[in-house]
Structure 1
Amino acid sequence: MVEVERVENLANSGIKSIPKEYIRPKEELESINDVFQEEKKEDGPQVPTIDLQNIESEDETIREQCIEELKKAAMDWGVMHLINHGVPVDLMERVKKAGEEFFGLPVEEKEKYANDQATGKIQGYGSKLANNASGQLEWEDYFFHLVYPEDKRDLSLWPKTPSDYVEATSEYAKYLRLLATKVFKALSVGLGLEPDRLEKEVGGLEELLLQMKINYYPKCPQPELALGVEAHTDVSALTFILHNMVPGLQLFYEGKWVIAKCVPDSIVMHIGDTLEILSNGKFKSILHRGLVNKEKVRISWAVFCEPPKDKIVLKPLPEMVSAETPAKFPPRTFAQHIEHKLFRRNEQEELVPETKD
């Protein structure tokens, strides 16, 4: 098993400067600013907040207006704060408390749950391995595991401490699954499709997987040089995110990095590549990244709603393709799409000549 340096250990070691493998390339550094200053900015574009209260209203006009707002945010931004989403706020707080308590354990306790990416054991406690040409690392540790459907979970990998972790997380996953159905229905209708169409296309109740990744970003002595998570788009259909109200999420919108403000009791939702492909680019899978800071630990709980790896071929739906709007994406399984993204990223990195110190 590969010995992995935990970022938490590094952060707690009293270092004043971060190791070089955490320092971002020069072209990225120009756009990394103080996250607290960025969050205070009132000018410029703001991530939309969508109120889902009326998404299933009996009143057709009210319902259609809610669907229209959701569709517009999905097409323009591909990310939004959801409020009145139907997930009990006290349950969200329990999930956050359980995750915080797990990450509050000594590192050696958490190591009992360590994953081993080299052998394909991806669930568990981990830190990013240097799997790219530049050897670049991210300033985060994480805990990753499948949370839904229940019959596909491996509870032996779930933290035993704190005692509420399994119950709170299981309950939360059920609510998110219901929320995903509501969103898929609304987005299907927004595209002029049958209400159950998108959900069917991503695997339906039996096959859609919900994978949770708790991201733990320790305080960083040089936040202007590092990233918690490097710029990427999500491969999922939808991603739902909770956080501990410490800002850090940044979106690349209209050529600029925009910080997402913290909205109490909201869930952040991303449209992922899967829906971008099915909609033939009408819905947007937005490039985003995570900033870190000196003063506060940031924790986020991301749940990725993913189609099965090999059972479904993802491609633009026939209704989304015409002579004027030809298919923008070739047919691929979900597994092939992930491979393609990794291959393309590594190819791009190989094109950049390595500079010697």
Structure 2
Amino acid sequence: MVDTTRVQAIASLAQDTIPEEFIRSSNEQPAITTYNGPAVPDIPTVDLNHPDQDNVVRLIAEASREWGMFQVVNHGIPPEVIKKLQEVGKHFFELPQEEKEAYAKPPDAKSLEGYGTNLQKDPNGKKAWNDHLFHRVWPPSCINYQFWPKNPPSYIDVNKEYTKYVVEVADKLFTALSLGLGLEGGALKGGAGGEDIEYMLKINYYPPCPRPDLTLGVVAHTDLSALTILVPNEVPGLQVFKDDRWIDAKYIPNALIIHIGDQVEVLSNGKYKSVLHRTTVSKEKARMSWPVFLEPPSDWVVGPLPQLLDPANPTTPYKTKKFKDYMYCKLNKLPQ
């Protein structure tokens, strides 16, 4: 099987089994490793528009320290905007394969943008049950419309409208996270690239899978972004690793799921934790999600904020480096 074979095409042929390269080891298989015991905790949920904004800051900071992930409701993105985002993304993945391939990621590309299947290198040659589409959505100067689908015709306008709202949500989150560290409201956004932060949309498509007990849609990882703002569909699958166990994320209609990424962990000098998470798949339904990764520009240098270093003992476990170098090491499984 060549690397360009898409999971969606494999799924359409599968009957009651899946190819060997998709079968995870026993310490990864969802049927074995998902926690189903008593008192399963819920990922924290925060009302972003609550009148007590000091409490909002406290709840976001607590969730970011203890979980690295939280959900937000009353975030200001109209439900109809989210619904349209989901509709046009689903439309794209239901197109004939040759139409989707028109947006394929070039084989020699240094960017992640485009339609594809494989992302990170797996030392054991294993694959995830997932096809995806990447393209930047903000700022306008970094957009390459080559990778934005022209079918459905409304795709571009819908994504532009959604992005307008996401930028506003991101500013609120960065401000709350900064205040939660006792810093000025613009500290973390400034450390991650300020107005030059790049917003990379990824649409994940996880086809129905005949053996969801054996495989994963996305394997366990932390995001290399500063923050990730994610819209899921109604099919469950997102799991977070907490207290040495894998816990299912509860689906809340129209909520956004926020991931603390590696760059905010670095900037906060470890006070906020980049969340280890993975995705399972369904036997009956296609699961989809729409994460937007907030990333520093490639040449932007990220390191712990000086305000969070002790002048008397400025040592830190986090290295200061260009984002592009961090990303290269992360995707190629090299030490940072």
The one-letter code of the counterpart of 1:232 is H
The one-letter code of the counterpart of 1:217 is Y
Aligned length: 333
Give the C-alpha shift of residue 117 in structure 1.
Answer: 3.7
1:281 aligns with 2:270: yes
1:236 aligns with 2:233: no
Q: Is the 1:130–1:137 contact (alpha carbons within 8 Å) kept by the matching residues of 2?
A: no
Instruction: Look up the SS of the partner of 2:289 in the other structure.
Output: strand
Q: For structure 1, which runs of at least 5 residues remain unmatched after alignment?
A: 348-357
For 1:213, which of 179, 202, 207 is the aligned residue? 202
The one-letter code of the counterpart of 1:319 is Q
Alpha-carbon separation, structure 1, partners of 2:292 and 2:39:
30
Specify whether residues 121 and 340 from structure 1 end up closer, same or farther in structure 2 by C-alpha distance, changes over 3 A only. closer
Give the C-alpha shift of residue 295 in structure 1.
Answer: 1.1
Alpha-carbon separation, structure 1, partners of 2:288 and 2:277:
16
Aligned sequence identity (%) = 41
Higher relative helix content = 1
* Equivalent in the alignment of 1:169: 159
1:262 aligns with 2:251: yes
Specify whether residues 246 and 327 from structure 1 end up closer, same or farther in structure 2 by C-alpha distance, changes over 3 A only. same
Specify whether residues 211 and 166 from structure 1 end up closer, same or farther in structure 2 by C-alpha distance, changes over 3 A only. same
1:77 aligns with 2:73: no
Alpha-carbon separation, structure 1, partners of 2:232 and 2:63:
21
Alpha-carbon separation, structure 2, partners of 1:254 and 1:326:
28
1:127 aligns with 2:117: yes
Q: Which deviations, in whole Å up to 9, do the C-alpha atoms of 1:239-293 show, x marking residues without a partner?
A: 0111111110010101110110101110101010100001111111011000012
Q: Is the 1:133–1:346 contact (alpha carbons within 8 Å) kept by the matching residues of 2?
A: no
State TM-score, norm by structure 1.
0.88
Alpha-carbon separation, structure 1, partners of 2:104 and 2:32:
33
Instruction: Look up the SS of the partner of 1:27 in the other structure.
Output: coil
The one-letter code of the counterpart of 1:237 is A
Give the C-alpha shift of residue 69 in structure 1.
Answer: 0.9
Give the C-alpha shift of residue 230 in structure 1.
Answer: 0.5
Instruction: Look up the SS of the partner of 1:189 in the other structure.
Output: helix
Q: Is the 2:235–2:282 contact (alpha carbons within 8 Å) kept by the matching residues of 1?
A: no
Q: Is the 2:191–2:305 contact (alpha carbons within 8 Å) kept by the matching residues of 1?
A: no
Alpha-carbon separation, structure 1, partners of 2:305 and 2:231:
31
Alpha-carbon separation, structure 2, partners of 1:53 and 1:7:
40
The one-letter code of the counterpart of 1:48 is P
Q: List aligned pairs for 1:1-357, cutoff 5 A.
A: 4-29=4-29, 31-32=30-31, 43-54=39-50, 57=51, 62-120=52-110, 122-128=112-118, 131-205=121-195, 207-311=196-300, 313-322=301-310, 326-343=315-332, 345=333
The one-letter code of the counterpart of 1:286 is V
Give the C-alpha shift of residue 151 in structure 1.
Answer: 2.3
* Equivalent in the alignment of 1:350: none
Instruction: Look up the SS of the partner of 1:81 in the other structure.
Output: strand
Q: Is the 1:316–1:328 contact (alpha carbons within 8 Å) kept by the matching residues of 2?
A: no
Q: For structure 2, which runs of at least 5 residues remain unmatched after alignment?
A: none
State TM-score, norm by structure 2.
0.93
